[in-house]
Amino acid sequence: MVEPETFTFLADLAINNRKVWMDQHRSERDEAMRNFTGIATTLHDYAHRFDYLVADARSKPKQSFTKFFQEPRDRIGRALYRVGVDVFAHVGHSEETFGYYLHIEPGSCHAGAALFQPSKEAHMRSINRLVDDPQGLRAVLDDPEFKKTFPEGLVTRKTLADLPVGFESNDFVEPYLRMVGLGCRKNLPDELLLDDDVIDVLIEIFRPASQLVRYFE
């Protein structure tokens, strides 16, 4: 599924995260993007085994993975380029809807379901959902298969110091109200992703993750 050259390119990019280097390695970048496009196509082709709504949605593989260049508002540190890429399978846009993803980054690969970089509108919809139905989220997190697959529970890439304006503290959902984008993930060794048969492993991850996607629909 993930080609060895893709891992090599991402590892080299982590060391040489500069525009000059990226310009000199456009062919390797394009080959990595071709690989991501193929992975997105595979996830959609097998979506009938974990989410019929994704399977029925129009496939847009070239729009189904994060781009290398990071907009200033999204940057962590000073790096211009992402050294890890998320490949998605979803029914909408990755900034608007929860969906399934495979994160490809040497030494830090994982898969699950998430809306990690929501638009302002999508973020507010998620917050309102949490406030309106905290017990629904509790049921997802307490599900035995979900807990077994995702022992970390819910994770985020950005946490607010304060609760969003207009929302009060709630013992159960308060930590999740502070999350700007959230999801679940299961770590995967790089070597496993080199095998085309890893799609069967991903399907077994996406099936329990579908509960989280359904909750936020």
Angle at 161 between CA 130 and CA 181, to 5 degrees: 45
**Fold adopted by 4-216:** BirA Bifunctional Protein; domain 2 (3.30.930)
The pLDDT tens digits for 58-116 are 888 888 998 887 665 565 566 788 889 999 999 988 788 999 999 999 999 999 999 99
Give me the sheet containing 99-104, strands edge to edge.
85-89, 99-104, 109-115, 182-188
Q: What is the CA radius of gyration of the chain?
A: 17
Domain boundaries defined on the chain: 4-216
The pLDDT tens digits for 109-151 are 999 999 998 999 999 999 999 999 999 999 999 999 999 999 9
